[in-house]
Structure 1
Amino acid sequence: MLRDRLPSRRPHQPFLLPSVGSGRLVRLLGARKLKEKLLFKNITISFGWSLIPLLVALYYQRVSLELLLIAPFIFLRLMLNTIFFDVRDLEGDKANGIRTLPVAFGRERSFRAMAVLDLLSSLYLVSLVGLTLLPPYSLILVLLPVYSALYRWLASSERAMIGFLCDFVADGEYVLWGPLIYLGKILF
């Protein structure tokens, strides 16, 4: 039976992770688990999610230059999001020996790193519009770094509802993208 030949895995693990996680790649990286490498989890999650629009476009055979160019912007926004979730999970990650940015450098430095990602995503977007590689209405997406700066500011309070900020506000950013683009088309 095929099931008997598959590596055992926990239900929340991606299908190929057990075989990758136990192979040469892990030994090469010098960690028992890939999660133990600083930023590895953030990069792989962000990269994977940022591929979704490209894969959908490939499926429908509608890949455009604009879509290819916006992928790094999506990646940067997702990196920011995954780091914010690591801030929420700081104590648990520390207790379990998972080396995330907040565990390694603290909450405040992680927030500063997120601000840098905000700046990079904005500069990237403005550059693409300035080079006329993206339409001017794309500039409305520079509101997203303002949005994330706001929820980081809210999270800096001792009484912050970090779970709500992560699960609803930070993840809610992606729901805003469509309406923002629509608004940008109206305004620009």
Structure 2
Amino acid sequence: MNLHKPTLRLLCASMLVGISGAFKLHITFLFLGIAPDARTYLAGFLIIYATYTLDRAMDCEEDKVNRKDLASSRKDIAIAFCLFSFALGSWLLYQQDLLAISFIPIFSGYLYSKGLALGSRKVKLKGNFGMKNLAVSLTWGLFISGIVQRWADIGKVLFFVFPFFTIKSFINTVIYDFRDVKGDAIAGIKTLPICLGEGNTRKLLQFMHIVIHLWIAASMLLNFINPEVALLVTFFSAGIIYTGFLTKSSPASEPRIRKLMRDAIVDGEFIMALLIKTVTGF
């Protein structure tokens, strides 16, 4: 089958973030001393891939500016892929008695896009200050925590897994807001770089980054989680790089090297961390 190039680009666009999701699960298992489970990792990949691809396939105002290369793609084909991927991922989680967890990303995406009805009033989340970042970060935190609680102590889930992935994901989504400033401004989405300014947003992200990694280091010293030194050092170093160098709005024609750097360090951070751990043995 000869797929239309923009359609193929759409289908592949969320592959890295899906793979990263599987690596996040594996790394969480390492921190908590849980035996590896390939089926769970695959389920995580499939559901995350489906959620992000569906988001890209659903046309919205900011995407007309931020994702022009996907404008002519076949959205029907992408949605079919999403449905298959989500169904398979949900079935795999069902085998682990985690079916309800598979609906967290989809439900969160719907709630963000459509809002919440409270009686005769409707609370709209999309476009409000920081809501996109909060919705995405809470989704990551809840999804990974919801899976891991099947095997882990609830205290470790609440005080390590949930805050770690929520804060890391919040930082990562804001990094991408610097890339999408123009499209978000046109769509009226109040992101942190637009509302707080680049400098203040950068300082906020760096503060959050340092605090969460100090918490991880303290958790290791207290034997609350396994002492995965290579992972901690990689996460901290990568975060210092992207909160320092990728917190500037992208030009209209973004250099390819900057895009590759952002994808590799932000979306590929957990993949890189596991590779470094494997090579160093720490």
In the superposition, the TM-score normalised over structure 1's length comes to: 0.72
Say which SS state the counterpart of residue 268 (structure 2) adopts: helix
Q: How far, CA to CA, are the matches of 1:180 and 1:75 in structure 2?
A: 23
**Who is 2:167 aligned against?**
76
- 2:272 maps to 176
| C-alpha distance in structure 2 between counterparts of 1:42 and 1:107, whole Å | 16
**Structure with larger RCO (C-alpha < 8 A, sep 6+):** 2
Structure 1 counterpart of 2:58: 12
- What secondary structure is seen at the aligned counterpart in 2 of 1:35? coil
* Counterpart residue type for residue 170 of structure 1: V
1:4-59 Cα offsets, whole Å, 9 max, x none, are: xxxxxx96394543895152299575xxx31222222211211111233333334x
Q: Which moved more, 1:47-56 or 1:111-120?
A: 47-56
For 2:272, the aligned partner's letter is L
Question: Is residue 102–residue 110 contact of structure 1 (8 Å, CA) maintained in 2?
Answer: yes
C-alpha separation between the residues in 2 aligned to 1:177 and 1:71?
Answer: 19
Unaligned runs of 5+ residues in structure 1 are 1-9
Give the RMSD, CA atoms, in angstroms. 3.3
Give the residue type in structure 2 aligned to 1:131.
L
> Under a length normalisation based on structure 2, what TM-score does the superposition of the two structures give?
0.51
Asked if structure 1 preserves the Cα contact closer than 8 Å seen for 2:115 and 2:122, the reply is: no
* Structure-2 change in CA distance of 1:47 and 1:180 (3 Å): farther
Secondary structure of 2:133 counterpart: helix
Cα deviation, 1:161-183, whole Å, max 9, x if unaligned, reads: 45334333311112234335556
Determine the C-alpha separation between the residues in 2 that align with 1:129 and 1:38: 35
Structure 2 counterpart of 1:119, one-letter code = I
Deviation readout 1:92-125 (Å, 9 max, x if unpaired): 1112211010010122222211111111111111
| Distance across 1 between alignment mates of 2:241 and 2:198 | 16
Partner of 1:141: 232
Conservation of the 8 A alpha-carbon contact between 2:113 and 2:126: no
C-alpha change, 1:107 and 1:119, in structure 2 (3 Å) is: same
3-state SS of 1:111 partner: helix
8 Å contact kept, 1:50–1:74 = yes
1:43 aligns with 2:89: no
Asked whether the equivalents of residues 184 and 190 of structure 2 are also in contact (C-alpha less than 8 Å), the reply is yes
- Counterpart Cα distance in 2 of 1:84 and 1:47: 16
For residues 207 and 131 of structure 2, the distance between their equivalents in structure 1, rounded to whole angstroms, comes to: 18
Query: Could you tell which deviates more after superposition, 70-79 or 141-150?
Result: 141-150
Task: Supply the distance in 2 between the matched residues of 1:99 and 1:119 (Cα, whole angstroms).
Answer: 25
Q: In 2, are the aligned partners of 1:42 and 1:79 still within 8 Å (CA)? A: yes
Shift of 1:90: 1.0
**1:24 alignment partner in structure 2:** 118
* Structure 1 segments of 4+ aligned residues over 6 angstroms from their partners: 157-160
> How many residue pairs end up in the alignment?
172
What's 2:215 paired with? Answer: 124
Match of 1:63 among 108, 130, 152: 152
**Amino acid of the structure 1 residue aligned with 2:115:** G
Change (3 A) 1:181 1:168: closer
Take 1:22 and 1:135, find their aligned partners in 2: how far apart are those partners?
40
Q: Which runs of 5+ in 2 are unaligned?
A: 1-54, 60-105
